[in-house]
Amino acid sequence: MTEFDVIIIGAGSVGVPTALATAKTGLKTLVLDSLPSVAQGDNKHAIGGIRATHSLKSKIWLCQRSIEIFASWKELYEDDIWWEQGGYCFLAFTNEHEQILKNTVRQQKEYGLNIDYVNADKIKELVPGINNDNLLGGTYSPEDGNSSPLLALHAFYRKSREFGAEYNFSEEVIDITTKDKKITGVKTNKAEYKAQTIINATGAHAKDIGNMINIDLPVFPESHEAGITEPVKKFFSTMVIDIKPATDEKFGNSKNYYFYQNKEGKIIFCLTPEPNIPGIDRRETSSFLPQITKRMVNLLPRLKNIKIRRTWRGLYPMTPDGNPIIGKIDNIEGYINAVGMCGQGFMLGPGLGELLSRVITEKLSLKDQEMLKELAHGRDNHKIEDLK
Average pLDDT over residues 190-194: 97
Q: Is the CB of residue 373 less than 8 Å from the CB of residue 35?
A: no
Average pLDDT over residues 356-372: 97
Q: Is the CB of residue 279 less than 8 Å from the CB of residue 221?
A: yes
87 pLDDT more than 90: yes
Q: How many CA atoms lie within 13 A of 224 on its CB side?
A: 25
> Closest Cα partner for 385 from 372, 375, 370, 373?
375
Q: How confident is the model at residue 386 (pLDDT cuts 50, 70, 90)?
A: low
Q: How far apart are CA 246 and CA 257, in angstroms?
A: 10
Q: How far apart are CA 273 and CA 193, in angstroms?
A: 41
Looking at residue 45, its amino acid is H
- Which one-letter DSSP state was computed for residue 221? E
Q: How far apart are CA 353 and CA 347, in angstroms?
A: 11
HEC sequence for 99-160: HHHHHHHHHHHHCCCCCEEEEHHHHHHHCCCCCCCCCCEEEEECCCEECCHHHHHHHHHHHH
Q: At residue 38, what are phi and psi to the nearest 5 degrees? A: -65, 145
- At 22 the pLDDT is 98
What is the pTM assigned to this prediction? 0.96
Q: How confident is the model at residue 380 (pLDDT cuts 50, 70, 90)?
A: confident
- Looking at every residue in the chain, the average pLDDT score rounds to 96
Write down the CATH number for the domain with range 2-76+149-218+321-374: 3.50.50.60
Q: Which fold has domain 88-145+220-318?
A: D-Amino Acid Oxidase; Chain A, domain 2 (3.30.9)
| pLDDT per position as a tens digit, 145-178 | 999 999 999 999 999 999 999 999 999 999 999 9
- At 382 the pLDDT is 58
- At 387 the pLDDT is 63
Q: How far apart are CA 129 and CA 338, in angstroms?
A: 41
Looking at residue 367, its amino acid is K
337 bridge partner residues: 200, 327
Domain residue ranges in the chain? 2-76+149-218+321-374, 88-145+220-318
